[in-house]
Amino acid sequence: MIRRLYVYLAAAASLALLVTGLAGAGAALLELLVRGGGSESTYRQTIATSGAEIMVALPLWLMHWSLAQRMVRRDRAERGATLRRLYLYGVIGGLLIALGTLAYSAVNSALAIALSAGPGRGDATAAGAVRSSWELAVVVAFWAYTLRVATADRVTVGESGGSATLRRWYAYGAQFGALLVALIGAASLLDSILLGLVSRAVATGAGAVVAGAVAKTLAGLGIWLFHRHWTATSAISEDDRRSTLRAVYGFAIVAIAVAATLTGIGQIAYWTLARLLGVARPSGLSGDALTALRGPFAMLVVFGVAWALIRRDLALDAAGAEARRQSGVRRLYVHLVAIVALGALASGAAELLWGLVDQLAAPDAAITATDFRDRISLSVTLVLLGTVVWILHWRPAPAIEERLSLSRRIYLFAVLLASVLLGVGSAIWLGSQLLRLLLAVGSSHPDLEMGHAFALLFVSVAIAAYHVRVLWVDTSIRAPSGGPARQAIPQEQTRESVPASIVVEISGATEEEVGQALAALPEGSRYHYQNR
């Protein structure tokens, strides 16, 4: 074990040094040829340093990698060893980060050449493009080779356990990071395009911004599409369809996309409402709608498309699984969106109460009518948007199998935890202000401070009280004995102490009332619940 660990660590370190040396030496040589004269001594010094790295690293890597390959030839099981897969996917992941950075730099430099104006600038940009292209070629070569070795190992001996987990960490971590970069770049690009349509003068000098946005979008999109296609192949997709990491990646992107989309919608609605209330510059933004709303609109479009796409992928993954998993994926998605929407609702309610406190408790605190209307516009927008989305996804009285689902309980306890933490903090704040008032050491506006604390406390208590009630009703439906009825889908149960089963048909009662009645059965009672 120690020997194998040494071999792979030495191979990884020498490979990193080799790639650095090859990239540096070739880039310096090519840049010297492109730019001609100028600072030749600097280029020669770089070439000498990088050449020394190559001379030291190349034999070291070849020796240790040969030892690693010899271990594979001696023992076929080494191909599927977790340590070997850790080396391979660690190297692939590190090279992928460099690949993405260099791809961005190369595309950015190429676009800068096309958009550059003025003498002298083109030569420097061309040299940078040549450098980035060479470095990218070196990294791509080693990345592709290492990925090919990992693929050959997987095809030869398969993968399971830690080996499969390492590959999934790499594959879905790469997709998550690349897609996030691509979405940010696409939103920036659309924002720049809209800016160019609004203001031609600004668009004339926006070449660098556009080039950077395009480069970021293309680099992220290329990496994401490659790994998306790779994990969609039949050899991988069947194994990964039930993978937790694949689901975590999808739901993480959905959470970000939902938050960004709701932010875009909220900013547009807030600006519109503020203008209707007579606020000329909501939050200091320009009074021109196209100028003020281009950023939120770009965010709404880009992240809204991502939301729809990843939601579709999650549905397709669930469609290939059993019905229970399909329901679990749907519930997890619904509760994820619900908790994001509830966060917006709570933030808006707290902001609304905070603004009302400022207006009522501190009329001399230089709060103008315009500022007050601006704050009211923002808070009302958050409340309305959060309420609508939350109501569309939250089901207070669903079927019993959903009441007992894990995702619903995670949602309930997560909301309760956040509410309790907020409530405790605001209660401490309120109590400290009361004690300071009694001890005559308070601030100049103690009523204002207490009002702010009470606003936060009120919101946290209201949310906590509602969800405690929902949790109590859900819990009351569960079997008191803690037996099979506590599973996600209740199993058919009969009371052990009674030789015959009793069939009862109930009509004219809600599910909540039926659940409360079943909770009152004697200890050890078992039952089967069927909702017609």
Q: Per residue in 398-455, pLDDT tens?
A: 777 777 788 888 899 999 999 999 999 989 988 888 887 777 665 666 677 788 888 8
CA distance 121 to 437: 66
Structure confidence at residue 344 (pLDDT): 87
What is the per-residue pLDDT for 201? 47
- In this structure, the dihedral spanned by the alpha carbons of residues 274, 276, 280 and 283, taken in order and rounded to 10 degrees, is 10
State the pLDDT at residue 48.
Answer: 85
Q: How many domains does the chain have?
A: 1
Contact between 95 and 128 under an 8 Å Cβ cutoff? The reply is: no
Q: Which residue has 């490659």 as its token pair?
A: 226
The whole-number pLDDT of residue 367 equals 58
Residue 202 is predicted with a pLDDT of: 47
What's 433-448 look like in SS3? Answer: HHHHHHCCCCCCCHHH
The residue written with tokens 């690293």 in the block is 57
DSSP per position, 113-126? HHH--STTHHHHHH
Q: Which residues of the chain have pLDDT under 70?
A: 35-41, 115-125, 198-207, 283-288, 318-329, 361-370, 440-446, 478-503, 507-508, 510-513, 515-516, 519-520, 522-532
Residue 481 lies in a domain: yes
Handedness of CA 303, 305, 308, 314 (dihedral sign): negative
| Owning domain of residue 493 | 407-532
CB 113 within 8 A of CB 123: no
- DSSP category for residue 160: -
Residue 515 in any domain: the answer is: yes
- Rounded CA separation 328/300 (Å): 28
Length of the chain: 532
The CA distance from 417 to 462, in Å, is: 13
Residue 478 falls inside a structural domain = yes
What does the pLDDT read at residue 488? 39
**Per-residue confidence (pLDDT) for residue 293, from 0 to 100:** 81
Would you state the pLDDT for residue 40?
65
Q: What is the C-alpha R_g of the chain? A: 31
Number of Cα atoms under 13 Å in the Cβ half of residue 112 = 22
Q: Compute the C-alpha angle 186/188/193, nearest 5°.
A: 95
Residue 86 resides in a domain:
no
Alpha-carbon distance values, 24 to 18, 20, 141, 163 (Å): 10, 6, 15, 33
Q: How far apart are CA 297 and CA 282, in angstroms?
A: 16
Q: What is the pLDDT of residues 154-174, one digit of tens each?
A: 888 877 777 888 888 999 999
Q: 524 in a domain, yes or no? A: yes
**What's residue 442's pLDDT?**
58
For residues 396 and 322, the answer to whether their CB atoms sit within 8 Å is no
Q: What is the pLDDT of residue 220?
A: 93
- Cα-based angle 321, 172, 140 (whole degrees, multiple of 5): 135
Is 416 a domain residue? yes
Is there a domain that residue 448 lies in? yes
Q: What is the DSSP letter of 500?
A: S
Residue of 7, 115, 127 lying closest to 61 (CA atoms)? 7
**Which one, of 370, 372, 475, lies nearest residue 416 by Cα?**
475
Residue at 350 is within a domain: no
